[in-house]
Structure 1
Amino acid sequence: MTIIVSQSSFPAQGFEHRFYHGNRYHCLSTKVTLAWDADSRLEALERQPPLYLHDTWRDQPERSSLLYPSDLIPFKPSTDVLILGTVRPPEERPLPMWYASLQIGELEKRLRFFGPRHWQYGALSGWTLSEPEPTDGVALLYENAFGGCIGDKPHYEEGEYFPDNPVGCGFIDVRQTDRAQRYRAAQIEAWDAPLREFGRPVRPGGFGPLPAYVPERLQHAGTYDEQWQQEVAPNIPLDMDLRYWNTAHADQRPAGYLKAGDRIRLAGIRPGAPLELTIPPYDAAAVCSYEDGSRVSQVMSLDTVLLDLDASRMTLRFHAIVAQDERIKRINLYCASTTLVDKEVRHG
């Protein structure tokens, strides 16, 4: 039996998971939470928040926005960059509309933000979109993006919900609309998918985590059919793409893993200058001790960066997988702020 022990003040965990062909791996994680000040300087919190052992939802599970994905995700092939909280106008006053951008190295993503607005019917104009009201902030919730369900019921049939975002607003059956009613319109738009026509679906905009049931993630889940049930279960499908476990939109993930020194820039999310944060240097590693006395160190990759705008916090999750081996008696998990220090000396 392998014992997993944290050797740092940061929360850490290990659990076992079956990958392809039933191969078993130790999935190892440690998490660092830091606060940024007015000058974007980062400092680790004295009291570190615990790991999330379950998905955390805004309200009812799977019927509201996913706020914090579980830290029990087995593996991510690249870094998720997630943004939570409230986006504020870039000026010191409420605005009816503005845009914000997220920049991760060469990646750039833009969203439009609006104050409250509605679709309303006029005898001569038909269905038109009202002018947005000035607002001092828009919450980064998928309830504020296009989507939704038709009616309120325990279960929905195909066509009664918008698969890309069932918790959003604006998805309706135009054949059953009430012309005397105003219908809430999305306050967050994807840059290349503006609302133009009443009842016409558009791609929802957002910076937050995606739940497992949306098509952007489900397309990577693999095939769970009778053949899988008879020949592969309980192992993951052989055609599963490990990107299924990424919770960020594809346009918020670099090709590989972010590292110390990489920069994240957010513009249009608060009054004044953009928020520019640099990934701080942390040395995270798993050191396996074998029964013959030998030790092997494995660097843990930075697979999640989560920015909470309301709390001014950055969370870094480092992760590694180690093939299960009966000869491994102990795995020590290390994590510390560091400069250039030889890892063999540090962990030796």
Structure 2
Amino acid sequence: MEIRSYIPFPHFSFTRHDTHKRPVVVAVARATFSIRNGEVLRPTQEQKPVAARDGYYGEAGASSLLRPSDLAISKPRSDVFINALAHAPDGKPAPMWLAEARVGMLSQALKVFGKRAWRFDTEKGWLITDPKPTVVVPLRYENAYGGSYEHGGETIAFPHNPLGSGYVVPEHLAQDRTYKAHQIEAPGFPVTEPGQVVMPAGFGPVYADWRIPRPDDSPYASYNAAHPNMVYPGHLQGNEEVVLQNLTPDGRLDFRLPSYRMLVLVRYSDGGLLPAEMKLDTLAIDVPAMEVYATWRVVIAENVSVRVLEFRMEMDEAKSA
């Protein structure tokens, strides 16, 4: 299969079988953009390649997932990932504040706390202490609700986030000890007692085996790696406004996605032609790097063998100006 590219971005193609075990070709394009506050994203001079493997903050399995690979077969909806630190408003130490993100029609918030702990009170039982004022909290699942610990020779792990903090089975608590509590939770879903089952909150991707309920049960939904609250209602179209609040020291960061139409022109061995439009199904925002990584994808049936794939694009100049 010959690959021809008429786009300025890295691309990749691979063969798989669909849910009916039929051969398909998956075409992927990935663009890297720089963020400038108040502007439309612009491609960076140096483009990062298609990600062939998952990326982590540290060791795989022992640290949060930073970005999954780009080798999914298909995604029924767009994933939105945000790597960021939560910054207290005006840079002043605060015990609690909201970190907020809006991407087009998707809007989510996280309640962020300073360090706190579970402590036993003889009158009220187990309580979480008042958070200590702080200025920065990393938005990683290590700081969200969950965790794992050793007890009686076995590992006790919160199945929905074994990397987190704050989860302890009540029967395992010692009243003369304190236990680290989580610093990130979803507004309206507080943890009020030890051992409570509450889904972890976050803006980043989650491990597939964390057993967090997905937003739909379509055949390829398992390839959506974003937190369920960060899976877009459909696919991103381009030109969406992005607004981030309290994810930078300055408080507000806003920009707009460019309006690109990405497609693959498929030339089959029998002479047939098929223009296949690619879907923008992954948007990864890296606030510390001030970069955005966008991935487009399309699945092409191979009932007749594919002879040539041509990567092409169109741009709405008016919207991307």
Instruction: Answer whether TM exceeds 0.5 for this pair.
Output: yes
Aligned to 2:228: 250
Secondary structure of 2:91 counterpart: coil
Report the Cα offset of residue 317 of structure 1. Answer: 0.6
Distance change in 2, residues 1:26/1:327 (3 Å): closer
Which of the numbers 242, 251, 262 marks the counterpart of 1:284? 262
Counterpart Cα distance in 2 of 1:75 and 1:153:
43
Asked if residue 141 in structure 1 is aligned to residue 137 in structure 2, the reply is no
Q: Cα deviations across residues 94-139 of structure 1 (Å, max 9, x unaligned)?
A: 2221012222334322210011111123445532222212222111
Aligned to 1:161: 157
Secondary structure of 1:251 counterpart: helix
Q: Cα deviations across residues 250-294 of structure 1 (Å, max 9, x unaligned)?
A: 332233111122222222323445322221122311111233555
Amino acid at match of 2:15: E
- Sequence identity of aligned pairs in percent? 29
Counterpart Cα distance in 1 of 2:163 and 2:151:
11
Aligned to 2:19: 20
Asked if residue 312 in structure 1 is aligned to residue 290 in structure 2, the reply is yes
CA contact (8 A) 1:150 1:171 kept: no
Q: In the comparison of the two structures, how many residue pairs are matched?
A: 318
Q: Identify which range, 143-152 or 180-189, moves more after superposition.
A: 143-152
Distance change in 2, residues 1:162/1:302 (3 Å): same
Distance change in 2, residues 1:142/1:329 (3 Å): same
Which of the numbers 180, 187, 191 marks the counterpart of 2:183? 187
CA contact (8 A) 1:287 1:331 kept: yes
Gap regions ≥5 residues in structure 2: none
The residue correspondences of 1:1-348 to structure 2 (distance < 5 A) are 2-151=1-150, 156=155, 160-216=156-212, 241-272=219-250, 274-335=252-313, 337-339=315-317
Superposition TM-score, scaled by structure 2 size: 0.90
CA contact (8 A) 1:144 1:168 kept: yes
CA contact (8 A) 2:41 2:257 kept: no
Amino acid at match of 1:205: A
Report the Cα offset of residue 193 of structure 1. Answer: 1.2
Counterpart Cα distance in 2 of 1:75 and 1:182:
45
Superposition TM-score, scaled by structure 1 size: 0.83
Secondary structure of 1:91 counterpart: helix
CA contact (8 A) 1:115 1:133 kept: yes
CA contact (8 A) 1:58 1:67 kept: yes
Amino acid at match of 1:188: I
Counterpart Cα distance in 2 of 1:8 and 1:261:
19
Q: Identify which range, 123-132 or 299-308, moves more after superposition.
A: 123-132
Q: Identify which range, 268-277 or 293-302, moves more after superposition.
A: 268-277
Q: Identify which range, 140-149 or 251-260, moves more after superposition.
A: 251-260
Q: Per residue, is there more strand in 1 or in 2?
A: 2
Counterpart Cα distance in 1 of 2:235 and 2:274:
22
Amino acid at match of 2:79: D
Report the Cα offset of residue 199 of structure 1. Answer: 3.3
Q: Cα deviations across residues 295-339 of structure 1 (Å, max 9, x unaligned)?
A: 322111100111111111111111101011444211122346553
Q: Cα deviations across residues 18-47 of structure 1 (Å, max 9, x unaligned)?
A: 112211111111011111123344221111
Counterpart Cα distance in 1 of 2:268 and 2:220:
29
Secondary structure of 1:21 counterpart: coil
CA contact (8 A) 2:151 2:172 kept: no
Counterpart Cα distance in 2 of 1:302 and 1:41:
16
Q: Cα RMSD (Å) of the superposition?
A: 2.5
